[in-house]
Amino acid sequence: MKKEKKPDWFLEWIKKLTLKQKITYSVILIFGIPLISAILSLISPSSKVSPCDCADVASKAEIIGYNNLSDSQQSLYRICEDKYTTSGDAYNDCVNGMINK
């Protein structure tokens, strides 16, 4: 006697959806999740950037050029550009932060 396999609840739920509902949920998943993550990444990283990281990436950009930085370093550089006018300002904040600890 073979044991009958019960259908998965998720597959049953999908079968009950209309075409319009399937399209709506697909659009929400395809466009909604990346949009929310992009908005969150724009909001949060600037507050978490350390002045030492800014000084480091700015000095690398001066030595090897901005276009030769990795994507993550270029992203960090753009965030630091808004916070500091020069790499020297970032370095001074880094040193002052180390002294004041």
Q: Are 54 and 98 members of one domain?
A: yes
Q: How long is the chain?
A: 101
Whether residues 20 and 35 fall in one domain: yes
Asked whether residue 100 is assigned to any structural domain, the reply reads yes
31 & 55 share domain: no
Report pLDDT digits (tens) over 27-80.
Answer: 988 988 888 888 877 776 555 788 899 999 998 998 999 899 999 899 889 888
Under 8 Å between Cβ of 79 and 46: yes
Range of the domain at 24: 9-43
Residues 98 and 58 in one domain: yes
Q: Indicate if the alpha-carbon torsion angle 15, 20, 26, 32 is positive or negative.
A: negative
Give the SS3 label for residue 7. coil
Q: What is the pTM of this model?
A: 0.51
Q: How many domains does the chain have?
A: 2
- Rounded CA-CA distance 55/65 in Å is 14
